[in-house]
Structure 1
């Protein structure tokens, strides 16, 4: 007699590495998803305030993007193109230029890297060092830029850095906005090190920064802090890299998260939602004069994921031909902030506080373990939430930008209940 097949949970535990993480908090075997909802194989439904860690800004199986993908596959469109010219890539480049670059008076060149965010960061770091002839790169406390070695060297999280297994060099951390609780003038330490002949700081090739640190705990940089950083970099001949991998593609309202501050980065990294549909895609943008690469000096087999070009183009043409999505995101932000303010007022005794921009928000408590308890209870009640921060002390809200007002209110009501029911 043939032995019965193992139950799904059994095969995951038997064959999948101990490195798995999200599934430990969300043990369901998910099967289908649409918009802001995801379902398991038994039909149970959750509202998704995780959105693929920011890779699904337009929701699960967005109909406009899905149809474009189905049409492309049905006509045997090229799937893998490396960096060959393809019609799918041409259409994406033309749409990105028309929808994103030209309206912002940007003349950046575009480089398709390997398919993940850390690939885009590695390319940015390599290019900055090549352009300036220097090795050091300055990053910030609580930053997260990826899991490959170059990206880890500019990442702040001690647990993730330790996984490298070797020294992580040529990266120097500086305090992020409000890291020192406003007790020290912005960039005082950085300026002193740059100007002091005895500081021991190697002159940096670049500074890399997130305008909102998502994985680092939803830490929001002020516009004036970002402007001062951009001015410092210009004054000291340092390239400014903005990592917009999680906060770009409309997450904070505008397409790029740095637009509110009015700064002009030398290099920008995009991934996650740039593909639109959750398909792997990443790119690095840079000012034309920085395009000093030799052919094939930096490459990667999967830098030509043409189905992602197709869905990326559909996303640009559907959502970025006008400002409706930006306005909707900012309207949604007001609803989220109001709900979080009410939660914090109700749980003042627990030290509840909130912060965020657009549709990325964080909720914290005096008891740092409370965040995990809130997320666990939310899962039981039908809402996917993750924690973030160096000690997983932040409840992080990252719903799809396309979520409906009713779905948003439903999710916020579940969050409110989860906070109340997680009290010890």
Structure 2
């Protein structure tokens, strides 16, 4: 059968992305998707940040094929396998030791939400406290514990229950450029009449992927780290979308120089689109009893194979990250030019690395209109923010300069058509 009829007939109404991109995709390579009719689409979506190294990267396909041909372990729960050991050794050698990081590694269930659940649970166990501070426009997943830290009302309503034990505070620049929102946090911690119970943890995204591409300033993150250390509050950095090179460094917090107590990593960690998540935590936070946070699919050996290959190929030196930073400069320059060339829209350029957006508070509907018009021209690009007011640029990190410029040219064409 051709087309979407089967999906429309059988799938739940919960579907989202297929409504914006209503075709049946069949093949993919690099930054290109191909539908069943053979039409090619340039991908500025990258699986919502899962495909940092592009679709069907040949190096990962070859490693998988060899592993399968050799009869490698497919499913292992949390038992020891050669594939797991190889990944751990490379993670330590290529990522943790060069950055002076001493973390224990927990393999959680394979989704980002599951690793957030694990982080919140172990933080509460380690401190003996229950309250958690999260921030406006934060997104941390949609299972119930993670959802309690997620801000968007649409997602919270879908939970169908009260979501307790989280205090929401304003993110960096939420109240404007001249107001340091951490003044409020610090005052509430010091005032016994504030109603803020001493938190077990603070959970924060350094770049808010789903919340509108808001990027916290390094100085704000440094102050947040200082406050949490002084009050013995654990700091969790949710690096699920902003990590694995997306920001221009392997971890998005590196630019600020802070060291979180816990880091959640998922999405592009496997490098291939295979589901995989890990929780990094300082040794003293690792208070789990054996089996206290478990799951049938917490040991994805195929993902270990491709993740290890990515660490070997892309993270043995700084060359790959430097290329991401160079492409960021190109993208930021082009987006700034769009903001200048369409003054009536009053665009704001947001984000960092290859995780950027242009937002218009004045015309919030424009982002969705551009996304739809771009799709008709062969570009897949999504929106972000509480009102979908941000056009979100999330290409693969391996995208060529020519592909990046081509996609930006399509966005410009759409704006020229839509903004009269």
Partner of 1:219: 214
Partner of 2:164: 169
C-alpha displacement at 1:323, in angstroms?
A: 0.7
C-alpha displacement at 1:336, in angstroms?
A: 0.6
Q: Contact between 2:174 and 2:181, CA under 8 Å: does it hold in 1?
A: no
- Once residues 354 and 178 of structure 2 are traced to their aligned partners in structure 1, the CA distance between those partners, rounded to angstroms, is 29
Partner of 2:368: 372
- Once residues 391 and 76 of structure 1 are traced to their aligned partners in structure 2, the CA distance between those partners, rounded to angstroms, is 48
C-alpha displacement at 1:183, in angstroms?
A: 4.3
Question: How does 1:201-216 map onto structure 2 within 5 Å?
Answer: 201-216=196-211
- Once residues 186 and 331 of structure 2 are traced to their aligned partners in structure 1, the CA distance between those partners, rounded to angstroms, is 37
Residue 10 of structure 1, aligned match among 5, 8, 20 = 5
C-alpha displacement at 1:8, in angstroms?
A: 3.0
Q: Contact between 1:68 and 1:310, CA under 8 Å: does it hold in 2?
A: yes
C-alpha displacement at 1:24, in angstroms?
A: 0.4
Q: Does 1:404 align with 2:396?
A: no
Partner of 1:237: 232
Residue 390 of structure 1, aligned match among 378, 386, 391 = 386
SS at match of 1:407: helix
Q: Does 1:303 align with 2:298?
A: yes
Question: How does 1:20-169 map onto structure 2 within 5 Å?
Answer: 20-169=15-164
Q: Contact between 1:377 and 1:421, CA under 8 Å: does it hold in 2?
A: no
- Once residues 261 and 113 of structure 1 are traced to their aligned partners in structure 2, the CA distance between those partners, rounded to angstroms, is 27
TM-score (ref. length: structure 1): 0.98
TM-score (ref. length: structure 2): 0.98
Partner of 1:321: 316
SS at match of 1:172: strand
C-alpha displacement at 1:182, in angstroms?
A: 3.0
Partner of 2:348: 353
C-alpha displacement at 1:226, in angstroms?
A: 0.3
Residue 419 of structure 2, aligned match among 411, 417, 423 = 423
C-alpha displacement at 1:60, in angstroms?
A: 0.1
Q: Contact between 1:359 and 1:401, CA under 8 Å: does it hold in 2?
A: yes
Partner of 1:344: 339
| 1:316-346 Cα deviation digits (max 9, x unpaired) | 1010001111111011011111111111111
Q: Contact between 1:136 and 1:204, CA under 8 Å: does it hold in 2?
A: yes
- Once residues 252 and 197 of structure 1 are traced to their aligned partners in structure 2, the CA distance between those partners, rounded to angstroms, is 38
Residue 245 of structure 2, aligned match among 250, 264, 267 = 250
- Once residues 322 and 191 of structure 1 are traced to their aligned partners in structure 2, the CA distance between those partners, rounded to angstroms, is 39
Residue 187 of structure 2, aligned match among 179, 189, 192 = 192
C-alpha displacement at 1:185, in angstroms?
A: 3.0
| 1:213-255 Cα deviation digits (max 9, x unpaired) | 0100000100000000000000111000000000000001110
| 1:32-73 Cα deviation digits (max 9, x unpaired) | 000011100111011100000000000000011111011111
- Once residues 152 and 247 of structure 2 are traced to their aligned partners in structure 1, the CA distance between those partners, rounded to angstroms, is 23
Q: Contact between 1:113 and 1:282, CA under 8 Å: does it hold in 2?
A: yes
Q: Does 1:287 align with 2:279?
A: no
C-alpha displacement at 1:28, in angstroms?
A: 1.0
Partner of 2:273: 278
Unmatched tracts of structure 2, length 5 or more: none
- Once residues 251 and 133 of structure 1 are traced to their aligned partners in structure 2, the CA distance between those partners, rounded to angstroms, is 34
Alignment size in residue pairs: 419
C-alpha displacement at 1:422, in angstroms?
A: 2.4
- Once residues 132 and 410 of structure 2 are traced to their aligned partners in structure 1, the CA distance between those partners, rounded to angstroms, is 42
Q: Contact between 2:3 and 2:23, CA under 8 Å: does it hold in 1?
A: no
Residue 266 of structure 1, aligned match among 250, 261, 266 = 261
- Once residues 323 and 381 of structure 1 are traced to their aligned partners in structure 2, the CA distance between those partners, rounded to angstroms, is 35
C-alpha displacement at 1:198, in angstroms?
A: 1.2
Partner of 2:410: 414
RMSD of aligned C-alpha atoms? 0.9
C-alpha displacement at 1:353, in angstroms?
A: 2.1
